[in-house]
Chain A
């Protein structure tokens, strides 16, 4: 049975079903229960935005509120993973990764390799990414490229409730550390999601719209902005194909290259800062592996190379818009060879 639920509900449902299935799955994070040790309501918050609300009643101490000590508890999740548990740690905002980055990129990411393949670290670190919440420079970043840069980490950033549930369940079952990026501006969007458990493999992109004139390769919130742009462009007779990467590491370049080979034009859209991001990486790989298929220059749409501003007037200018994406498509469609 399928019904419409939000991304927030999809995350809750994935955690619920995996905790029910596997007693090794535990959750920890700041306020993921809320009110621990206080005299009022238990499960008072269920996460800062209520994503884990209700799970405490079912699983009790398998959900743990933590002190505000990101290095200690993210490290504890990693250590527990190396000792047979399947922890899901919530870091609230990905911007806080700086506090505990060593545990992620020097410890979790490297155990399997450094220890000659004799260690597994099945930990999922969930964190909110992205702008649009008027949350300013330290609570709004799209830091996905920091993690795709690190060998040993897997990085996921879904755009729909269906993908969120299937990818989170897969991430929990994966034996490598997974950074699971949840776009806070998408928490409320609804979509069809099966009630039962299912998985989506990491490293499989999804063609969310077919078209023949230009490929847009993107992920997260930008999938939705690209769909808006595609609707506008369709009225102009330009049919855009949109590839939602879903997983950023592993990265499904096959689907990207197939699409570019079909459309001969490429626009990469990325909410991350413009230098050394997912868009530049995709562009480089397409230029290297499908240069002859391209009929025009590759275009990129990203925010400016600035911190995320607070003022709504500025933040709206910062986040790539459907209009900017449409303009980039028009530019490459007009450019190059016929």
Chain B
């Protein structure tokens, strides 16, 4: 049977592996956090994997992204090492930030990942700068700012849309609309129904896609990334998606409707959708997907094992990586 997808079988398997890695990474953190193994705040990307993966599939290591507080999925799909990520989240040496950043500031600039961010909307101006640097380098690099539907109402985000348009930057703005800003409904907190309309207000193209459909995201992202690479300037992409867990780990999610989470898991799971699509087309068998599932589970288990075994940072680490005057 011919492959009806825009990606080769190998690429499809790679994308599935990325999405499954994000899912298992987050599912494992959910368990480990509830056991008390993980310090601080953790925001999980489970349920949203298709967006990060479908977009990042178009990027190279020279392209840059600024993430949100919900940053693990962006890291993994941008190619950040999962073991170093796990060590970081466990607060250990050898983590991406040697334990100084944690989940909320997880970053790897060598992979073009400019950080998860504890300040909502703060990545958008930074990405204007990354795009500006790309423009000066003139090698066709792009930069992408991710925000949630909540942070899409920050002044920094709106200012950045305008600046990117005014300077015709190779900058892309992705609104990951999972329906909730923390516990507050998107439709309550955002005056405009359509992000396409909002993009138009800043003189740039806007696209809305089903963020749980990998192929829809992949296609839309491809179009706007290509336009930006060719000097066509910024665009806004809204991915409508679902959040399997709460705003943060420990969130009882009483704001959700009865049965909402069951429905999300049953009917809006992007991994199930992807598996069904590639299986129905006869391109990838269920057994091939299951083999990846097993490999990913083992890889995550190994990452946790390594993170637990890694040394803690010490007093000597406290005052490095910053100028300390006294």
- On A, residues with C-beta under 8 Å from B are 26, 64, 66-67, 69, 71-85, 87, 102-103, 106-107, 110-119, 151-152, 154, 176, 203, 249-251, 253, 285
Contacts and interface: CB of A to CB of B under 8 A. Distances in A.
A83 B126 CA distance: 10
Contact of A251 (B124, B134, B166, B326): B326
B159 A114 contact: no
29 contacts: A72-B124, A73-B128, A75-B122, A75-B124, A75-B128, A76-B129, A76-B132, A79-B128, A79-B132, A79-B133, A81-B129, A82-B114, A83-B114, A84-B133, A103-B125, A103-B126, A107-B119, A111-B115, A113-B322, A114-B105, A114-B107, A115-B96, A115-B97, A116-B95, A118-B109, A152-B323, A176-B323, A203-B325, A250-B323
Given A74-B125, A117-B321, A119-B107, A79 B66 contact: yes
A69 B99 contact: no
A114 B113 CA distance: 13
A79 B109 CA distance: 11
B100 interface: yes
Given A203-B325, A285-B326, 19 more contacts: A69-B159, A69-B160, A75-B156, A76-B125, A79-B126, A79-B129, A87-B129, A113-B322, A114-B101, A114-B115, A115-B96, A115-B97, A117-B320, A118-B96, A119-B107, A151-B324, A152-B323, A250-B325, A253-B326
B162 A116 contact: no
Contacts, number: 151
Nearest to B110: A118
A87 B143 CA distance: 18
B124 A116 contact: no
Given A69-B159, A115-B107, A116-B97, A76 B166 contact: no
Interface of B: 64, 66, 95-101, 105, 107-110, 114-115, 117-119, 122, 124-130, 132-134, 136-137, 143, 155-156, 159-160, 162-163, 166-167, 320-326
Contact of B160 (A75, A110, A285): A75
B59 to A, nearest CB: 14
A112 B132 contact: no
A80 B125 contact: no
Given A85-B136, A251-B325, A116 B100 contact: yes
A79 B321 contact: no
Nearest to B320: A117
Contact of A79 (B127, B137, B324): B127
Nearest to B156: A71
A202 B163 CA distance: 33
